[in-house]
Amino acid sequence: MLGFILADLRRHRWGVAAIALIVALATALGVAVTLQERAMRLGSARAADAFDLVVGAPGSETQLVLSSVFLQAAPLPLMPGRVLAGLLQDPRVAWAAPIGFGDEIDGRPIVGTSAPLLEGLGGLAEGRGFGRLNEAVIGAAVPLRLGDRFHPMHGHAFGVGLVHGGVTYGVVGRMKPTGTPWDRAVLVPIEAVWRIHHAEAAAGPAGPGGAQPDEGLDAPVDPSALLSPEATGLPAILVKPRTVADAYKLRRDYRGETTLAVFPAEVLTRLYGTLGDVRLVLAAIATGAQALVGAAILLAILVHVLQRRRQIGALRAFGAARLAVFSIVWLEVVLVLGAGLLVGVGLGWAGARALSNQLARQTGVPMPVGFMPEDAMPLALLLLAGAVVAVVPAVLAYRQSPAEALRG
């Protein structure tokens, strides 16, 4: 029987291929939506995993997390320097590190911070941490080498960045890969960022190659500078609490008039709620498309069965069991749908992979595309629906009177 089915499918291979392709595309749409949404969720969750608590000045929680954790540059309000001093001395804090933005090098952010963050992000793959103000540690994906020297550029506000011509950093270390946007960042001591911008503010807007206090950076890093109550204002501080209970308490204590403490996870969780709603809408669209495709295919198959009623009648006239005729038609339809479904799963996966890779290149956040056990359920339901729908043409063939079919 299977031999006959395969020969029959082979004979109608173009029609079969067209139907399977349409099924595949409809399936791929649903699969891609599921996979892509999951990839974005897991990618962002894993990128934020090293950051338990972020403290910033009051404002948008989402903006604070996007800027500090995902390094999506945006102007953030500053909080007083004494906040960092307070956190560093808090017994509930395992470590806390400032984050200061502003400069970049070839489109990669230069982030001013302190030594604990290097350990907090996973540590160094090679070289050493910055010991002097003009030393830099690069993320795993930054195309520089140890010993390279570079000039920072200030922002992109005017289309063409201004080069801090007089400032030169030397690369002394490289981070281990973290799978986060920090892989594309260049880390320098926060004091260096402070000094450059102080000097600029004092000297007024400087053109390219303007006078810069390069010699001011040729000094050792001084950890106590961060403890000074008069330290410069900061956009964000990353905090590692000692315990889970400490995390919740710190979050409460630093939500006030001057600071805003937030778990990146809670911002992401809110985002996932929205993302989940979007997924539901897209999934509904995909389901609608699948239903339409199903109806169109049912119609095509019904017409096909009617066109072949002579052949089907002949099968029975020559002694095929009625159940065999039913099974042949049913199995052919289910085989074609099943093949389309399988191809669709592959297509959906490939589509989500391509999109995720594109997003990963743009954001620096790797997006893991993968199936979960629960994905089998909707696919099984889809196949089940197909198997049920396939009964219609099969019954039509089953009810075909052989005498009438042969006469026709």
Partner 1 sequence: MLGLLGALPLLALARPARAAAATPLGFGDLYGAVSVLGLSFSDKVKALAGQPVTMRGFMAPPLKAEADFFVLTEIPMSICPFCSSDADWPDNIVVVYLDRAQTFEQANRMIEVTGRLEVGSWTDPHTGFVSLLRLVGARFERA
Partner 2 sequence: MPRLAIRDLVVSYPGLGRPALAVPRLDLAAGEHVLLTGASGAGKTTFLNIVTGLEPVAAGRVRWDEIDLAALGEGGRDRWRAAHVGLVMQEFHLFPGLSALDNVLLPARLARFRLPAALSGEAERLLARVGITRAGQKVETLSRGQMQRVAVARALLARPGILIADEPTASLDAESGAAVAGLLAELAAETGATLIIASHDPLFARANLNRRLHLDAGRLVG
Q: Beta strands of 38-92 (E only): which ranges? A: 53-56
List the one residue from 141, 300, 314, 335 that touches partner 1 (CB under 8 A): 335
Maximum CA pair distance of the chain?
102
| 251 binds, options partner 2, partner 1, none, Cβ within 5 to 8 A by partner type | partner 1
Query: Of 385 and 406, which CB lies nearer to partner 2 in the complex structure?
Result: 406
Residue type, 143: P
Burial class (CB in 10 A: 0-12, 13-18, 19+), 336: buried
**Least CB distance to partner 2 at residue 334 (A):** 17
Query: Of 45 and 350, which CB lies nearer to partner 1 in the complex structure?
Result: 45
List the one residue from 71, 186, 192, 334 that touches partner 1 (CB under 8 A): 334
**Least CB distance to partner 1 at residue 73 (A):** 22
| 322 binds, options partner 1, partner 2, none, Cβ within 5 to 8 A by partner type | partner 2
Site of tokens 């009623």: 309
Phi-psi bin for 243: left (phi > 0), alpha (psi -120 to 50), beta? beta
Structure tokens belonging to residue 104: 């970049």
- What values do phi and psi take at 370, rounded to 5? -160, 160
Alpha-carbon distance of 225 to 189, in angstroms, equals: 11
Of 131, 122, 68, nearest to 100 by C-alpha is 68
Query: Of 242 and 353, which CB lies nearer to partner 1 in the complex structure?
Result: 242
Q: Does position 324 bind partner 1 by CB under 8 A?
A: no
Handedness of CA 182, 185, 189, 194 (dihedral sign): negative
Q: Does position 121 bind partner 1 by CB under 8 A?
A: no
Query: Of 161 and 386, which CB lies nearer to partner 1 in the complex structure?
Result: 386
**Least CB distance to partner 2 at residue 285 (A):** 39
Binding site for partner 2 (CB under 8 A): 1, 3-4, 7-8, 10-11, 310-311, 314-322, 324-325, 328, 401-403, 406-407
The torsion defined by the Cα of 134, 140, 145 and 150, in degrees rounded to 10, comes to -40
Q: Beta strands of 202-310 (E only): which ranges? A: 236-241, 260-262
* Contact (CB, 8 A) for 151 and 167: yes
Q: Does position 41 bind partner 1 by CB under 8 A?
A: yes
What are the residues whose beta carbons fall under 8 Å from the beta carbon of 1, sequence distance 6 or more? Answer: 324, 327, 328, 331
Q: Does position 284 bind partner 1 by CB under 8 A?
A: no
| 248 binds, options partner 2, partner 1, none, Cβ within 5 to 8 A by partner type | partner 1
Q: Does position 45 bind partner 1 by CB under 8 A?
A: yes
Q: Does position 377 bind partner 1 by CB under 8 A?
A: yes
Alpha-carbon distance of 5 to 326, in angstroms, equals: 12
Residue type, 296: A
Query: Of 62 and 269, which CB lies nearer to partner 1 in the complex structure?
Result: 269
Query: Of 137 and 331, which CB lies nearer to partner 1 in the complex structure?
Result: 331
**Least CB distance to partner 2 at residue 16 (A):** 13
Q: Does position 359 bind partner 1 by CB under 8 A?
A: no
Going residue by residue from 381 to 400, which x/- string records binding to partner 1, judged by CB under 8 A?
x-xx--x-------------
CB atoms inside a 10 Å sphere around CB 2:
9
Site residues (CB under 8 A) for partner 1? 2, 41-42, 44-46, 48-49, 52, 242-245, 247-249, 251-252, 263-266, 268-270, 272-273, 276, 331, 334-335, 338, 373-374, 376-377, 379-381, 383-384, 387
